Amino acid sequence: MTTPILSRRDFLRRSGVGFGMLGLAGLVGETSALAVGPALTHFAPKAKRVIHFFLNGGPSHVDTFDPKPALLKYAGQVLPNNRITERKTGAAFPSPFKFQRYGQSGIEVSELFEKTAQHIDDIAVIRSMQAEVPNHEPSLMLMNCGDSIQARPSLGAWLTYGLGSENENLPGFLAMCPNGLPIKGSENWQSAFLPGAFQGTYINSQHTAVNKLIDNIRSPHANLQTQSRQLDLLKQLNEKHRQSRSDSRLEARIDSFELAFRMQTAASDAFDVANEPQYIRDLYGNGVHGRQTLIARRLLERGVRMVQLWHGAGQPWDNHENIEVNHRNLAAEIDQPIAALLHDLKQRGMLEDTLVIWGGEFGRTPSVELSGNQSKLGRDHNHYGFTVWMAGGGIKGGTVHGSTDEFGFAAQENPTSIHDLHATILHLMGLNHEKLTYRYAGRDFRLTDVYGQVITPILA
Amino acid sequence: MANLSLYSRLKFGINPTPLAWVVGLVLGFALPLSAKPWALESPVDAPVPVVEGNPWSSQPVDSFVLEKLRAAGLQPSPQADRRTLIRRATFDLTGLPPTPEEVSAFVNDNASDAYARLIDRLLASPHYGEQWARHWLDVARYSDTKGYVYGREENRWVHASAYRDWVVRAFNEDLPYDRFLLLQIAADQLVPERSSDLAAMGFLTVGRRFLGVTHDIIDDRIDVVMRGTQALTVACARCHDHKFDPIPTADYYSLYGVFQSCAEAMVPMGEGENGEVANLVAKNRDLLAKRRGEQMDRTRARLADYLAAQLELEKYPEEVFNQLIDDGDLNPFIVRRWEIYLERQRVGGNPVFTAWHALAKSAPAGYAEVLTRLRSAPASEANPSVLAAFEGTPADMKEVAKRYAEVLKQPEFKAVLEGVDSPCHVPDEHIANIEMYFPTNTIVELWKSQGDVDRSLIEKGDGSTAATILMDRPLAATPRIFKRGNPLTKGEEVPRHFLQAIAGPETKPFAKGSGRLELAQAIASRENPLTARVMVNRVWMHHFGNGLVTTPSDFGKRADAPSHPKLLDWLALRFMESGWSIKQLHRMLMLSQTYQQSSSGENGGRGQQIDPANRLLWRMNPHRLSFEEARDAWLAATGELDLRVGGKPESLFGGKNLRRTLYAYVDRENLPPEMRVFDFANPDLSISQRTETTVPQQALFGMNHPFIAAKAGVLTKDAATMEASGKVRLLYEKLYQRQPTSGELELAQAFISSAAATPAPVVRPSQWTYGYGAWNGETGKLEGFTPLPHFNGSAWQGGDQFPDVGLGWVQLTATGGHPGNDAKHAIVRRWTAPQDGDYQLKSTLIHEPEVGDGIRAFVAHGSRGLLRSTMLHHSKEEIDLPAIAMHKGETLDFIVDIRDGLNSDQFLWAPVITATGSAGTGGDVVGKMWNAEKDFGGDLPTLLSPWQQFAQVLMLANEFMFID
């Protein structure tokens, strides 16, 4: 049975005062019920949570999930459909990586993701994605927030706004990136005109200590016993203060301290991978990506709505030069963690309601990048056609949707916009992308603006 | 328009908002059934209601309020007590708490005009302007930075703080609101050069840079002006006619044309720049002139190619994405300028290009015929000098282009190549306006040069010498509608004029320059039905918690009707009559009994039932402190608040920033999480009313942030020698400006005894210090050791932002750290020997990342120099030394630098030092161990004392955060 969506006001009234999701009561002057319940959706959701591997910089589709043998034929020649991108490119550049068929579906995947490929029958590969321009900044914004230039809420902000968090002790939406920020920094997980509480919480996953992972999660000045005594006093003072006043905000603030106190221990636990058995830690691997992926699984398990895993600071996948070496190194860092996550989610029964997304802000050119007519053995940005894949909750595994042309330059069959991708993600989460709106500056804004069609062929 | 009006009438006639109906029925006046939303009708000067048997008040505001309360069967609440009133008024007008002395003076002032004098005193305070400027800065989407920019460009605005300070001054001086708006939109045309009022135009220019995309920069300016001053969501009409309000797309592009006809410029104020800055300005100006000249020459030299490019326009994207362009490439932007130019010549019938257009339409086989026909046309239709160049019939359009390029060199055609509307021309404007004219390497060079000027102004100046303004361009543009907002699908041309919804369908096009001054005048006009109402409503909202209209930046049809329409109009009219005096408006509102009501709602049983949202104002709304107010009030309570007005921004929790929070550095790209968590206005968007959330991150900040703990420390310092009840009294006075009750005294004492019963941890003086310096390989010694200035609770670093603007990536944590950006900023963990003796070192140094070139590390004795060195990359090494002889006070340094390049240089290294005592002199420390990880900490007290714990609780209590 489907639950009809309530108005925002009703929704706010019943919303929990959790990390991701609170105090909205205060926003409209309603009394908040301190409950975190099942999310209200437009129809029955297939997925309850999202994990997004963001290969920032732009992974090459023709070297990973979109084989193009025709490039070999044209090696050394300028492609008949060479297009304008950010920089000049020259002749066709055949992939230096071997492709092979995997699984029952027999979908071809390159050696870069040979471990992930073992799960190809759980994966739907969309080979016909299109963005708007071949530049990082607008494409990051488009992929994350649905608009290239203007300040708009990110997908994760929309999801937590629409669905709340299922764990009031943790942020509803986290973005993890080792060792710094991706290009455009926190704009990638911004809340824009949605209340600030929906902004993604950035975690520098380079760190291992929990007090470095979440702001103010521990006091350097008082232990829990001291704090507990302080909060007792605070509560007494606040209760006395409240007696002669009527304002629901006073209660909400009293509750927020209780919640914060509990959060200090709950969050520490969620981020501590030492609590995982050794064989699980081995499964994910010892590197920073293994650890961050394992933390992400612990967070998802605890009810976090969306976790975005960025590859690294800046734009690591932006391999204008020597793509053979660079892509190989980068893929080696995440192939095992991704495969481990898919395996681990499955063995826990979580894959069926967890949506796993893989992709960058665009793909790369099938032609070689030139620097003053010299080949750099790398590829330029390509927004005309690229690959994103999804697995898990509600996805028909072992599917290929759409295609690029013979050489992989542009989407050909079933061109798929980022808005379509967003509409599909919301759909899987039980939300109608045309009805999830927020009134700002006189307009009811959507993640998908006035666009977006659910990609039905990849739905289970 | 016609359809829209009909639609509007239907909407309004059939489906008014429920509250509007209630208002209409209760008060017995008819809702206007016109096509216009109420806000577009002129304000009506209704007589002040006479409410029978009104013992409450003689203030007009109160009569309007009471009339509606009576109609709903409600009574106002009693007047608040004196202490509440002074706290309420002081926070409201200055954003600060009153001092305990001010409270007691007011409470004991029995004169009948004591309250009125209080309001006057507060309005005269220089801090009044700071508080009310912040409200306006929310609307103005103020930020000290531009948001994301490409690496070549400085991301801080040079003029932001000058604009902020101008707004503060404007409020303090009670600058008439109409003038306030005129200057913010068109000061360039109203004040002399170098006037400090030019700073006002920051209103238009402190928005995001949007990566230089003109359409979005203009959209942002339209939005901030239209929602900010008119409460109209004009930006909705970017893609289609406004769905609810009478704003056609044509009107959006009318305003678009105004801003399209303006260029951004950085201009000096006052004495302007001097010294180094002036030199850089001159250097930058000369470089820009040189590059402009070269670019114009380059375009002229490539004339044949630019003309030939017109035949394969598909190769040159019209909406230029960021495409790297070499000197030798045709610039797609200039190709498209030629396209527009040629089209304009065709439409205007310029005889010079008749042949071009005619030949372009024809196949080469028909050229001869076309040329013959043209030769018989009069010179006014086909230029004979041009035709002379086509004596021999050209083979194809490429050749046509070549011949044109040749013939246009003749002096007769100078205007084509050198006029200001020539596609070869590069306007003499700030690089922000003209970067698309240049090849990529020149763009980078010009931005870097501009960046030198900017940085010099920001870092060396005091922020008051430069303004960023808009200036009208010599040729105003006639805008074209972009269908569905898409600049690639251009629709009809529209004249530049004011909104038809206000000026009427017969409105005349703007006549002067871009029309921006006329736009400003149409807004700052007594004839404008919105301007005064919108501002009155904003001021009302900040006093009462909610606006009379609850959507202060949207007075369109979708907004709720005003709760008190007659009052809103009455106030708007009095506001304009007062000469647009905002201070008079404050007086009118604050002297009312409505404002002075109690907020407790204690006897509000009926009010709670009928009007729980308190729209009819049967009580005052309590006010929760904003982030700025809370931080300022904490600093005021400790007595540390630095009350200097104006100046450069400072990092929020960096260094020793004790200034008002208004002056915290607002980086829209990287807003401090504390500000975001406490609902600070998003600096990317014009914010009319901040959201108010209650989230546990706020509580975590209060419980765990070092700032709060430090303030609790300062608060209890003065009371150190006082007896217990005296301490409690002092804290209550400082934080709440009142005395504790006997119950509160008892609670306090019980808390202190219980906390004191817990044994205090032993705090040992640390042997570790944390700093940076340079390794000298030749002497084998560390040079220039400097302690790191900032501890954030878990790391020592350059400031509260990481990396720090000045010190970069230098950082030390309990277990490791990161070297600074260059060899001069090696990171240093220093240990100082407490006694003479021998010491043993055990440690593991780890460098994890594969990328980059790794790090260099040294262990050095303060006087003897290098003991051990290594280079590490994606590896680890045990660094142990069995016996180091040290004298008391000598240092042992653990030094790491970046090696050759700054890339992934973070490391783990937490040495453990043990006293072995073999030298025989360090007997009392033998066996003692110093563990870098366990000993790690900041300057702050390791644990709060019972009194500090108590002070912290008072700082966090609701009584502190909510003003009755």
The two beta strands, B912-915 and B929-931, are antiparallel
Check: CB of residue A385 under 8 Å from CB of residue A363.
Answer: yes
Is the pLDDT at B18 greater than 70? The verdict is no
For residue A44, with 0-12 CB atoms within 10 Å meaning exposed, 13-18 middle and 19 or more buried, which class applies? exposed
Q: What is the pLDDT of residues B500-523, one digit of tens each?
A: 999 998 899 999 999 999 999 999
| Together in a domain, B338 and B375 | yes
Helix (H, G, I), strand (E, B) or coil at B797: strand
Average pLDDT over residues B119-130: 98
Which amino acid makes up residue B208? R
> Which range (A2-16, A351-365, B310-324, B797-811) has the least confidence?
A2-16
Average pLDDT, chain A: 88
Q: What is the pLDDT of residues B270-307, one digit of tens each?
A: 987 778 889 999 999 999 999 999 999 999 999 999 99
Domain endpoint, select from B460, B495, B526: B460
Is the pLDDT at A441 greater than 90? The verdict is no
Asked if A442's CB is within 8 angstroms of B554's CB, the reply is yes
Asked if A184's CB is within 8 angstroms of B148's CB, the reply is yes
- What pLDDT, on a 0 to 100 scale, did the predictor assign at position B757? 82
Asked if A133's CB is within 8 angstroms of B321's CB, the reply is yes
Helix (H, G, I), strand (E, B) or coil at B787: strand
Residues A167, A160: Cα–Cα separation, whole Å = 12
Q: Whole-prediction pTM value?
A: 0.82
Is residue A229 in some structural domain? no
Check: CB of residue A136 under 8 Å from CB of residue A87.
Answer: no
Is residue B508 in some structural domain? no
Is the pLDDT at B863 greater than 50? The verdict is yes
Is residue A75 in some structural domain? yes
The dihedrals phi and psi of B32, each to the nearest 5 degrees, come to -65, 130
Asked if A256's CB is within 8 angstroms of B694's CB, the reply is yes
Residues B706, B652: Cα–Cα separation, whole Å = 13
Is residue B281 in some structural domain? yes
Nearest CA in chain B to A179: B904
Residues B424, B575: Cα–Cα separation, whole Å = 52
Q: What is the pLDDT of residues A277-329, one digit of tens each?
A: 999 999 999 899 999 999 999 999 999 999 999 999 999 999 999 999 999 99
Asked if B942's CB is within 8 angstroms of A150's CB, the reply is no
- What pLDDT, on a 0 to 100 scale, did the predictor assign at position B728? 96
Residue B320 confidence class, pLDDT cut points 50, 70, 90: low
| Together in a domain, B308 and B455 | yes
Q: What is the pLDDT of residues B870-919, one digit of tens each?
A: 999 999 999 999 989 999 899 999 999 999 988 889 999 999 999 887 55
The dihedrals phi and psi of B171, each to the nearest 5 degrees, come to -65, -45
Show the tokens assigned to B160: 């932001």
Show the tokens assigned to B177: 């609101």
CA torsion angle B273 B277 B283 B289 (round to 10): -40
Q: Say if B216 is an interface residue toward chain A (CB within 8 Å).
A: yes
| Together in a domain, B689 and B719 | no
| Mutation target among A221, A247, A317 for the B interface, most CBs of B within 10 A | A221
Is the pLDDT at B26 greater than 70? The verdict is no
Task: Kindly calculate the radius of gyration of chain A based on its CA atoms and give it in whole angstroms.
Answer: 23
The partner residues of B838 in beta bridges, in order of sequence, read B885
Is the pLDDT at B429 greater than 60? The verdict is yes
Whole-number percent of chain B with pLDDT over 70: 94
Average pLDDT over residues B628-656: 94
Query: Count of A–B CB contacts within 8 Å?
Result: 255
Is residue A259 in some structural domain? no
Average pLDDT over residues B849-871: 92
Domain endpoint, select from B708, B735, B753: B708
Check: CB of residue B577 under 8 Å from CB of residue B533.
Answer: no
Is residue B737 in some structural domain? yes
- What pLDDT, on a 0 to 100 scale, did the predictor assign at position B949? 95
Residues B942, B273: Cα–Cα separation, whole Å = 48
Is residue A420 in some structural domain? yes
| Segment 446-485 of chain B within 8 Å of chain A by CB | none
Which amino acid makes up residue B657? N
Residues B705, B699: Cα–Cα separation, whole Å = 10
Residue B31 confidence class, pLDDT cut points 50, 70, 90: very low
Residue with tokens 């703990």: B709
Nearest CA in chain A to B150: A137
Task: Kindly calculate the radius of gyration of chain B based on its CA atoms and give it in whole angstroms.
Answer: 35
Q: What is the pLDDT of residues A79-136, one digit of tens each?
A: 998 999 999 999 999 999 999 999 999 999 999 999 999 999 999 999 999 999 999 9
The two beta strands, A416-417 and A123-130, are parallel
Helix (H, G, I), strand (E, B) or coil at B637: helix
Is residue B105 in some structural domain? no
- What pLDDT, on a 0 to 100 scale, did the predictor assign at position B662? 98
- The CATH number given to whatever domain includes residue B821 is 2.60.120
- What pLDDT, on a 0 to 100 scale, did the predictor assign at position A236? 96
| Together in a domain, B702 and B714 | no
Is residue A5 in some structural domain? no
Is residue A139 in some structural domain? yes
Domains in chain B, number: 4
Is the pLDDT at B255 greater than 90? The verdict is yes
Show the tokens assigned to A310: 């960025």
> Which range (B20-24, B315-319, B371-375, B718-722) has the least confidence?
B20-24
Whole-number percent of chain B with pLDDT over 90: 75
Average pLDDT over residues B164-188: 98
- What pLDDT, on a 0 to 100 scale, did the predictor assign at position B565? 97
| Together in a domain, B774 and B636 | no
Residues A370, A378: Cα–Cα separation, whole Å = 8
- The CATH number given to whatever domain includes residue A291 is 3.40.720.10
CB-nearest partner of A22 from B695, B706, B755: B695
- Closest CA of chain B from A391, distance in Å: 30
| Together in a domain, B399 and B413 | yes
Residues B207, A149: Cα–Cα separation, whole Å = 13
Residue B23 confidence class, pLDDT cut points 50, 70, 90: very low
For residue B395, with 0-12 CB atoms within 10 Å meaning exposed, 13-18 middle and 19 or more buried, which class applies? exposed
Tell me how long chain B is: 964
pLDDT higher at B57 or B229: B229
Asked if A216's CB is within 8 angstroms of B703's CB, the reply is yes
- What pLDDT, on a 0 to 100 scale, did the predictor assign at position B14? 30
Which amino acid makes up residue B891? T
- Residues of chain B with Cβ-Cβ distance to A261 below 8 Å are 699, 703
Q: How far, in Å, are A302, B463, B651 from residue B144 at the CA level? A: 39, 11, 11
Asked if B553's CB is within 8 angstroms of A260's CB, the reply is no
Average pLDDT over residues A368-379: 90
Domains in chain A, number: 1
| Together in a domain, B929 and B953 | no
The two beta strands, A49-54 and A354-359, are parallel
Is residue B95 in some structural domain? no
Asked if A236's CB is within 8 angstroms of B747's CB, the reply is yes
Residue A7 confidence class, pLDDT cut points 50, 70, 90: very low
HEC readout, B3-70: HHHHHHHHHHHHCCCHHHHHHHHHHCCCCCCCCCCHHHCCCCCCCCCCCCCCCCCCCHHHHHHHHHHH
CB-nearest partner of B211 from A137, A223, A249: A137
Residues B733, B552: Cα–Cα separation, whole Å = 37
| Together in a domain, B332 and B374 | yes
- The H or E element spanning position B88 is helix B82-94
Helix (H, G, I), strand (E, B) or coil at A62: helix
Check: CB of residue A343 under 8 Å from CB of residue A279.
Answer: no
Nearest CA in chain B to A239: B958
Given CA atoms A416, A420, A424, A425 in this order, what sign does their dihedral have?
A: positive
Residue A440 confidence class, pLDDT cut points 50, 70, 90: confident
- What pLDDT, on a 0 to 100 scale, did the predictor assign at position A31? 25
- Residues of chain A with Cβ-Cβ distance to B685 below 8 Å are 151, 192-193, 440-441
Helix (H, G, I), strand (E, B) or coil at B871: strand
Is the pLDDT at B941 greater than 60? The verdict is no
CB-nearest partner of A260 from B696, B813, B940: B696
Check: CB of residue B248 under 8 Å from CB of residue B242.
Answer: yes
Q: What is the pLDDT of residues A325-353, one digit of tens each?
A: 999 999 999 999 999 999 999 999 999 99
Show the tokens assigned to B315: 């190769």
| Together in a domain, B879 and B917 | yes
Residue with tokens 């142990």: B880
CB-nearest partner of B700 from A149, A197, A217: A217
Residue B928 confidence class, pLDDT cut points 50, 70, 90: confident
Residues B387, B379: Cα–Cα separation, whole Å = 10
Domain endpoint, select from B708, B730, B745: B708
- What pLDDT, on a 0 to 100 scale, did the predictor assign at position B603? 65
Average pLDDT, chain B: 90
Show the tokens assigned to B185: 């939109």
Q: What is the pLDDT of residues B376-386, one digit of tens each?
A: 999 999 999 99
CB-nearest partner of B233 from A23, A229, A441: A441
The partner residues of B828 in beta bridges, in order of sequence, read B771, B895
CB-nearest partner of B691 from A27, A244, A252: A27
Show the tokens assigned to B810: 């230098």
Domain that holds residue B732: 709-762+943-963
Is the pLDDT at B28 greater than 50? The verdict is no
Average pLDDT over residues B850-862: 92
Is the pLDDT at B202 greater than 70? The verdict is yes
| Together in a domain, B930 and B948 | no
- What pLDDT, on a 0 to 100 scale, did the predictor assign at position B321? 77
The dihedrals phi and psi of A218, each to the nearest 5 degrees, come to -135, 150
The partner residues of B682 in beta bridges, in order of sequence, read none
Asked if A245's CB is within 8 angstroms of B599's CB, the reply is yes
Asked if B962's CB is within 8 angstroms of A441's CB, the reply is no
Is residue A235 in some structural domain? no
Is residue A432 in some structural domain? yes
Is the pLDDT at A13 greater than 50? The verdict is no
Residue B765 confidence class, pLDDT cut points 50, 70, 90: low
- What pLDDT, on a 0 to 100 scale, did the predictor assign at position B939? 57
- What pLDDT, on a 0 to 100 scale, did the predictor assign at position B759? 66
Domain that holds residue A199: 46-224+277-458
| Mutation target among B653, B695, B711, B954 for the A interface, most CBs of A within 10 A | B695
Given CA atoms B940, B941, B944, B948 in this order, what sign does their dihedral have?
A: negative
The partner residues of A357 in beta bridges, in order of sequence, read A52, A390
Residues A180, A206: Cα–Cα separation, whole Å = 8
Asked if A250's CB is within 8 angstroms of B755's CB, the reply is no
Tell me how long chain A is: 460
Q: Say if B236 is an interface residue toward chain A (CB within 8 Å).
A: yes
Residue with tokens 């130019």: B341
